[in-house]
Amino acid sequence: MYNDIKLEKGLYNLSGKSFTSALEELDPDISYSGTPLAGLDAYERQLRRFNIKVKGQESDKVEKFFSSTETAVLFPEFVTRSIRKGFDDTVLSAICAVKTVCDSGQYLGCVLDDSVAYGSTAQSGELPASTIKEGTNPLVLEKFGRIINASYESIRSQRIDVFGVMLRSIGVKLANTVIKKSFGILSSVTESVTTDSLTYADLAKLYGSFNCFEMTSIIVSPKIASEIAAMSQLADAKISEDGRMMLPFGCEIIKSSSADDNTIVGIDKNFALEFITSSDLIMETDRLIDRQLDKMSVSITCGFRKITPDAVKVLKINA
């Protein structure tokens, strides 16, 4: 049971396993089916075990993590989870069709040659072919990261939930830096719709430029998003469940500081972009356990690849 687990630094250093995965092997979730602990994962059960409250009005102070050598082992996972939540709760998940984990700093994916026209074939004729083959240009993944300066003395009396909000905000900003790279990949097309002054008709033209695929989303800068929101045609625009605005033809407006003020990228989010990473968010766990918080580093190595060029269209606004 979760009360009998021995928490130690080595749980962070098992090859191919996260800290939570290592805990899960020792304390399987399935053992708690039908019990009050069924909704918790292995890490959350350890927080319950040591009565560490990380949210709500009764949230503990950061120093509660360091009340024993075992509870200190839980702190790096809290930091990582907080930053990851900020990282994941961005538009990144809304624009990527798939996430691929590779085991090196370079990625050589497959490419689809679909140039032969689709159509009917005579009874004895040869069917037109689509060819999937290995790419020839490897994608070199890039490292994105941040140093967080915070001494133990400066945060020990801080409430855990407030500290978590600060960490999530770092995750959001780190993700936005990563997303800027994806915008560059998506906007690099040979053909695009152009306009001198953005109108609703231009958005409709971009929508109409999609053939086999649907324009499920447009990625725009905050400035362009405000211009679109002010258009009379959007006076009764629908709002999605998570608060995002929808164009009348069912396309979601994704506002991102990673976009520039002269480019609108339309995508079919189900086919457009592949997110490739060689690792999850990486923290220096030993330093955190030992209360050496003066320089916490967090990083991720990743990159993007356009999967289906026809699922991406661009509207250029001439400056």
Q: Decide the pairing of beta strands 273-277 and 312-317.
A: unpaired
Lowest mean pLDDT across 4-18, 170-184, 252-266, 297-311: 4-18
191 within some domain: yes
244 within some domain: yes
| Averaged pLDDT, 212-234 | 93
Closest CA to 145 of 282, 274, 19, 277: 282
Share of the chain above pLDDT 70, in %: 98
Tracing tokens 């990486």 back to the chain, one arrives at 282
- CA distance linking residue 268 with residue 251, whole number of Å: 10
Is residue 245 classed as helix, strand or coil in its secondary structure? strand
Return the number of other C-beta atoms located less than 10 Å from residue 181's C-beta: 15
239 within some domain: yes
pLDDT for residue 288 is more than 70: yes
Residue 190 is predicted with a pLDDT of: 65
| Averaged pLDDT, 158-178 | 94
75, with CB counted inside 10 A (0-12, 13-18, 19+), is buried
234 within some domain: yes
133 within some domain: no
Lowest mean pLDDT across 134-148, 237-251, 300-314: 237-251
90 within some domain: no
Total number of domains constituting the chain: 1
CATH number at residue 242: 3.30.2320.10
235 within some domain: yes
Instruction: Supply the range of the domain harboring residue 238.
Output: 186-272+309-317
Closest CA to 150 of 47, 6, 261, 298: 298
95 within some domain: no
CA atoms within 13 A on the CB side of 246: 13
